[in-house]
Amino acid sequence: MSISMYDASVPALLHTLENLKVILQKAVKHAETKKFDPNVLVGVRLAPDMLPLSKQVQIASDAAKLGVARLTGTEAPKFEDNETTMEQLIARVDKTISYLRGVDPKQFEGAETRTVNIATPNRSFTFPGLTYLRQWVQPNFFFHVTTAYALLRHNGVDIGKADYLGNVA
């Protein structure tokens, strides 16, 4: 039995983005309960040289939407990367979820061999689609979602592994 590129990507991205949204919402409730401005969390970092929560969420969003767009040979929606509140971060996750839900599985036909080119400030990469999904999209996406989780957990938000994994039934 084989698995389609759609099935190997979109459902897992959606599931994890939905869990990220719940985690962000729990962070807002935590702040309200503890009587502090939830937007303080937008700038938290694990270390001085790490990116803050806002960038972790933005990069996770970008990894999902750009990954799907590159695999389908389409244009991803552009987001400004200007979120400064928890509400805006949650809205960004919602926009990413909406985009992914609108992708037609048929657009993934041939995606496993589609050439994907990426230019970073330091170098360029060329991947066949399956390698791009497994070695670029998924690791980057899960790294940044996990880091967002760790930032919130480190700052006292009452979340655990079950929140990260969500409903796995």
Q: What is residue 33's predicted lDDT score, i.e. its pLDDT?
A: 97
Nearest Cα to Cα of residue 99 among 87, 109, 91:
91
pLDDT of residue 168: 79
Instruction: State pTM to two decimals.
Output: 0.95
In sequence order, what are the residues at sequence separation of 6 or more whose Cβ sits closer than 8 angstroms to the Cβ of residue 73?
107, 114
- Classify burial at 79, counting beta carbons within 10 Å of its beta carbon; exposed 0-12, middle 13-18, buried 19 or more: middle
Q: What is the pLDDT of residue 40?
A: 97
For residues 23-53, one letter each, b for 16 or more C-beta atoms within 10 angstroms of the residue's C-beta and e for the rest, the string is bbeebbebbeeeeeebbebbebeeeeeeebb
Domains recognised in the chain with CATH numbers: 5-165 (1.20.120.450)
- Which residue, among 96, 140, 100, has the nearest Cα to 11 in the 3D structure? 100
User: How confident is the chain (169 residues) per 10-residue block, as mean pLDDT?
Assistant: 93 98 98 97 96 98 98 96 98 98 97 95 96 98 98 97 89
Helix (H) or strand (E) holding 117: strand 115-119
Q: Are 108 and 6 in contact (CB under 8 A)?
A: yes
Assess contact for 127 and 135: CB atoms under 8 A: yes
Residue of 10, 128, 123, 12 lying closest to 69 (CA atoms): 10
